[in-house]
Amino acid sequence: MNIFQFLNSLDELLYELMSWFVFFPVTMWRLLRHPIATMRYAEEQLRLDENRQYRGTVSPPIMLILTVAVTQCIDLAVDNTNPIVTSHQGLAELISDNTSLFLLRLVLFGSFAILLATRKVQRSAVDLDRDSLKPAFYAQCYAIAPFALLVSSGTIALGHALLPVQVLGLTALVAAFLFYGAVQVRWFQQALDQSVFRSIVDAAIGMIGSFAITLGLALLFQ
């Protein structure tokens, strides 16, 4: 690679990074206003050529990564060091810096996306493989982004000393679970063309499995 190719690659990289400052809030706003339509968009974009995909948004996996990064920045702004980093109990011994904490958060929220995506494919008429799972996973990466932002912000606010801030944090948590649950039920209902009751069951199975993983990991950090 000569110097001109190197500079050109830096040019493209810088533009891509800076464009996230525009398209991240645009994508988040679309998710909050039209979550199901945006999840369908995530699946439909995969049918296009790679260089034409997600031209007006951040791609779903990057959206999840950026959301986790934003929540970590909020956490660091409020509390310079997360208690998990300073703890030496159980698996917390492995979380020694902010990078490993970021990866832990990404795995936790990513587990929601992969489990619910797997549930959707299993309930559909197609075989579960890498090709059939990818569109559902991409859709779920979009769905989990507002949930991750609200849950992380609410949890941080609950740890604040002021009661009004704690109430605001609790409100954010309740809103996150209600929003995420409603989106999942609607997604299963439309994607599988089934009843509301069947969709509630499917969404509950996927979400309970995800919460079980989160709880199990939390216990290992005690």
pLDDT tens digits along 143-154:
999 999 999 888
Q: Distance (Å, rounded) from C-alpha 92 to C-alpha 109?
A: 18
Helices 130-158/3-33 angle, 10° precision:
70
Q: Which amino acid is at 107?
A: V
Q: Which domain holds residue 72?
A: 3-220
Predicted pLDDT of residue 93: 57
Give the model's pLDDT for residue 126.
Answer: 87
Q: What is the CA radius of gyration of the chain?
A: 19
pLDDT for res 183: 96
How far is residue 54's CA from residue 44's CA, in Å, rounded to a whole number? 10
pLDDT at 189: 95
Check residue 103 and give its pLDDT. Answer: 85
- Using CA atoms, how far apart are residues 159 and 201, in angstroms rounded to an integer? 33
- List CB contacts of 89: < 8 A, sequence separation 6 or more: 221, 222
Tell me how far CA of residue 119 lies from CA of 45, 107, 204, 221, in angstroms: 21, 18, 10, 28
CB atoms within 10 A of CB 159: 13
pLDDT under 50 in the chain at which residues? Answer: none
pLDDT of residue 196: 93
Q: How many helices (H) and strands (E) does the chain have?
A: 8, 0
- Report pTM: 0.87
pLDDT for res 215:
82
Question: In total, how many domains does the chain have?
Answer: 1
CA 66 to chain centre: 9
DSSP code at position 94: G
